[in-house]
Amino acid sequence: MCLRLGLILLVLCLTGCVEKTPRQDPLQLGQLLGGSDVSGYDRATTPRVFEFPRDHGPHPAFRNEWWYLTGNLVAKDGHRLGYQVTFFRNALSPIEEAQSLKQQNPSQWLSDSAWMAHAAVSDLGDGQHLYGQRFSRSSPGLAGAQANPLRVWLDDWSLSGQKHWQLKVIDRNFAIELDLRSAKPPVLQGNKGLSQKGRAPGNASYYYSITRIHSRGKVRVGDVVYEVDGLSWFDREWSTSALDDDMEGWDWFALQFDDGRDLMYYQLREFTGGAHPNSQGGRVAANGQYELLSRNDIDLVELDHWRAPNGFDYAVRWRMSDRTTGEQWLIEAPVRNQYMDLAVKYWEGAVVIYELPNRKPVGRGYLEMTRINPEG
């Protein structure tokens, strides 16, 4: 979901992996997700014309961007797995300032951006959730992105390809190697790709998704290698600021139904309770047709929770109601602990969709939940 933009700032400052510290206080995550330091960067203020494959590549005039994949996979023996991989880019200074610095200092080690990658595999059969993270500066060629052919990389973790993509993530405890082929064209989320998060103009992102991607390859869990097939979901966003000061976090759903429909919805949470007015999403028909969903279209009720080591309760069972169609679903995590206990902590994992009231399984998806400490 688009609001991952602030995570990289905090993590990179905590790990001290870059030469230049971002200009904001790195410990105030809520501030980093807002828009108090945006001078010199482009902002998402009006709809734009998207062009593919160009927009699969980087947008260095914006402060933050990410490439995000999730998926549900099944092995030949019926073993089920979930996965997520995200590449984050964060500009260390506005593009004109970065270009000036390079003219003054031609060192190949001078970096204009910092990078972070997260990856995880959830073994839905035995309840394992394995995860890892990597950090790097961009120079000299340690991390980066290009458009055509697509290549996004951090060390030896990469997403690359042209007509279809290859994902490769090799970690100590797990590995993901997948061939990815789109089953639907990209859809522009929000207002023709302008996804408004906060109330203020510019507190928004440019956001598109490829909601259904045929995925085939290998996943290693520990020492066991599975040959897998399944479906993935790709989210792509770039932004400079997004959150208002009164937001506690978000709950993001990416759901793929067995009948070919897909649904994305994010609920922005306010500290005072309830959903922020800019909570929204989109429904994608089996033929790829997109329909915008507003906060008034979707109703969410938390039914059961799992308490994380950070003290936050994350809902692992939800009831979702679509007021536009009258449908209701139970969204349930088959593994309760899919907690990303990394430098930035959040819950993200695979879920199963059950039709209500008969509790018939009708699809699978992914759920991300973040919580921001109001003290920073």
Whether residue 140 lies inside any domain: the answer is: yes
Position 163 scores a pLDDT of 87
Which residues are paired to 180 by β-bridges?
Answer: 165, 215
Token match 């099944």: residue? 74
pLDDT computed for residue 23 by the predictor: 28
% the chain with pLDDT above 90: 70
User: Is 124 inside a domain boundary?
Assistant: yes
Residue 367 belongs to a domain:
yes
* Residue 292 phi, psi dihedral angles, 5° rounding: -70, 140
| Cβ count near 329 (within 10 Å) | 23
- DSSP structure class, residue 191: B
Q: How many CA atoms lie within 13 A of 308 on its CB side?
A: 19
Q: Does residue 86 lie within any of the structural domains?
A: yes
- Is the pLDDT at 176 greater than 60? The verdict is yes
Section 106-121 average pLDDT: 85
Query: Rounded to the nearest 5°, which phi and psi values hold at 6?
Result: -80, -15
Q: What is the CA radius of gyration of the chain?
A: 19
**With 50 as the cut, is the pLDDT of residue 28 above it?**
no
How many domains is the chain partitioned into structurally? 1
CA dihedral sign of residues 240, 195, 50, 286: positive
Q: What CATH number is associated with residue 213?
A: 2.40.370.10
Tell me which range, 34-48, 231-245, 329-343, is most confidently predicted by mean pLDDT: 329-343
- Residue whose token pair is 């959830």: 122
Q: Which residues lie closer than 8 Å to 250 by C-beta, 6 or more apart?
A: 1, 3, 266, 267, 268, 269, 368, 369, 370
Residue 61 structural domain: 2-371
Q: Which of 45-49, 199-203, 218-222 has the lowest mean pLDDT?
A: 199-203
Amino acid identity of residue 174, one-letter, is: F
* Span 54-66, average pLDDT: 95
Residue 334 and residue 79 in contact, taking contact as beta carbons nearer than 8 Å: no
Residues 6+ apart with CB under 8 A from 270: 246, 247, 248, 276
Q: What is the pLDDT of residue 3?
A: 39
Q: What is d(CA 162, CA 167) in angstroms, rounded to the nearest whole number?
A: 12
pLDDT at 372: 78
Alpha helices (H) along the chain = 7-15, 29-32, 95-104
Which of 299, 296, 292 lies closest to 320 in space, CA to CA?
Answer: 299
Both tokens of 107, joined, read 């060192």
Mean confidence (pLDDT) of the chain: 88
Minimum mean pLDDT range among 26-30, 180-184, 231-235, 310-314:
26-30
Instruction: Dig out the tokens for 29 from the structure.
Output: 């995550």
Residues 6+ apart with CB under 8 A from 281: 189, 253, 263, 264, 265, 266, 292, 293, 297, 298
**376 located within any domain:** no
Show the beta-strand stretches assigned E in 92-203: 113-123, 128-137, 143-146, 150-154, 157-161, 165-170, 174-182, 187-188, 194-196
- Report how far apart, in Å, the C-alpha atoms of 51 and of each of 89, 145, 188, 232, 291 are: 20, 16, 11, 22, 20
Q: Which DSSP category does 203 fall into?
A: B
Count CB-CB contacts under 10 A for residue 202. 18
Does residue 287 surpass a pLDDT of 80? Answer: yes
Residue 263, pLDDT score: 98
pLDDT at 303: 98
> Is residue 239 a contact partner of residue 62, using CB atoms and an 8 Å limit?
yes
